[in-house]
A = this chain, B = another copy of it.
Amino acid sequence: MDDKAAKPAPTGTTGPAGPTGPTGPRAARKRQAVVRAARDLFLREGFGVGMDAIAAEAGVSKVTVYNHFGSKEALFTAVVAGALDEPLADGGPAGGPDLARLVTAEGPDELKAALTEAGRAWGRAVRADAEGRALRTLVATELHRFPELGRAWHAHGPAGHHPAVADALRTLADRGTLDIPDLEVAVLQLYSLLVFPQMVFEQYGTELGEELGERLVVDGAEMFLRRYSPAPAP
């Protein structure tokens, strides 16, 4: 595979296949069909899947695939990089937690309830996001073969929504609802308690269990608040 990529000039008579692919309305439809099929198959079968299979799944001739993307490597990187950006466009596949409810919570009880519900939402999102899981595994597997994915990768992953969570915690701290000396650590601890267990176990096929997950979320929220609740004024 690598020797082919070392070809000095991949000039083919079929098409340019370089920066500019085919244009037009029908080309856009076909291109999208190819991207969709390639993403599904790459996520399910890995990079080893054949181009014929991708073309067949897309209902498209193999030559069309090569007219749009010049090589298997280009198709792979384009599709995976695109899939990395997708979850940030919409609000995520299963919907993230309701951060607004966190910052508007009044009183310790309501805050705890909001935090627990946020943990449940994260758990649901992680559990339902089989596609994201496969994407992470795929990128981790092929990172050494496609180093350019590393650049696109580092911006995403588990650090994806850190800014929003950090903003929510900072607001709570400014308001005096919480006492957070180290914001960066607090954000990571919140993820550690409410998200990472689900992620780690789900990633490796092990089931955490509905009821154990609930206990973890409830007690995790309890733990987080007990750590960062301000000491009552004496």
Contacts and interface: CB of A to CB of B under 8 A. Distances in A.
Count copies of this chain in the complex.
Answer: 2
A114 to B, nearest CB: 19
Which of A182, A188, A206, A219 has the most CB atoms of chain B within a 10 A radius of its CB?
A188
A29 to B, nearest CB: 31
A153 interface: yes
Given A48-B48, A223-B227, A192 B197 contact: yes
Given A185-B216, A189-B216, A204 B153 contact: yes
Contact of A192 (B154, B193, B212): B193
A139 B196 CA distance: 19
A158 interface: yes
A164 interface: no
Nearest to A154: B206
A137 interface: yes
A226 interface: yes
Nearest to A156: B204
A56 interface: no
Interface string A215-234: 11001101110110000000
Contacts of A224: 223
Contacts of A206: 154, 157, 159
